[in-house]
Structure 1
């Protein structure tokens, strides 16, 4: 009678290893698909906002390069699911616009940050409805070369000193040329108007008498100017202006702003 051998059974360990590998592969595929969907959805929303901001810039008779929009935070999908976004960055390079009296004000970069943004899922999916930012802040720089042109007086130099705007210019007084220096007071007015007035004026080498002071003050009054900041997108209005080494830094703000509206 011949020997009977039992049927060989493949070890369970190999099957478990194969199942684990299969699970990992499927997981990677799912994660890859989620990442692609995340990027596609984010890009779509960024393009939509960029197009609307570009329309606003055009409607305000201003110009800039195509707005570069970045939705901060990852993953995008989870933000879509809850309909809230922490921050959206909007950069408008080479922004310029009319500033009255046939003048144009230019900013190398208008850096806009929208925070506490609410956008329902249906709005992202269909492109209809409003994407509303709780607060929007924009920062741009007006260089001193443009400001000197606004002053319109020969020899004027503008600079920042200890966080304040200072001005200097050569002045003819009593037959001699002296350098007059002063510190400016910057005041933000309605209508995006920045008022610049000089005070605390000094001039070395001149006698301290009413006639000389009157001549200097008369000249200083000519240094005063108003900077009319161009109409900004997203309903931004000027809130603060400060002197920096490169120029005047203009900070504007707004609240409850629609990011995907082409209106003013």
Structure 2
């Protein structure tokens, strides 16, 4: 399994917990387990190659793309119930007035978005002809935003508050834009090496068990319900960016897999 991007990167806490729980609830049927994290952070293009090979990596959790679904075994149960579809904008406080008139995609395209070159969102927004400022490090993106290299950094509603709070002493002028949210469907799955199909079967069994008995939703709410409520999406202008790269196999018909934002008020 790949390692986190930095010591300040808390995004992995929840998926690591879900992975361990899925293995735990399937232990009676499939046996004991051990989770080992890669010693070095690997870029997505290298990671997919290693997962394909199956010798050093056999499972990773990332936002889905056609490449990931083609080259590995996707377990199409969105671990975060699709919450990443909703993004808020991290901005420099001096630029807040610039976003007050933004209500459409065309309005937003007047500004430059900051994205990691290896993120699925980079592929989506470049495909849709947004002006993109690329960063090659998760941590560097916050510094680049602070220095005005781009105008906004879209972050999941479950990520942004913790991310800015953790970096408050370093970047005190970075804030959450108060009126806008973006909608970009981006399911976050487990992907398993095609060389280890037995592991995919085991993890699918574990996740389906957690889904049916409510464990997965309970874990999700424990980690993210407060941030979802704080985002106050009902009071924001939601700009539907869409995702033209969303694989057609996405299980949109399984309503139990997707978040009901209206239940968090």
- TM-score for both structures, normalised by structure 1: 0.25
Select the structure that is richer in strand: 1
- TM-score for both structures, normalised by structure 2: 0.25
Select the structure that is richer in helix: 2
Query: Which structure has the larger Rg?
Result: 1
Relative contact order: is structure 1 or structure 2 higher (C-alpha 8 Å, sep ≥ 6)? 2
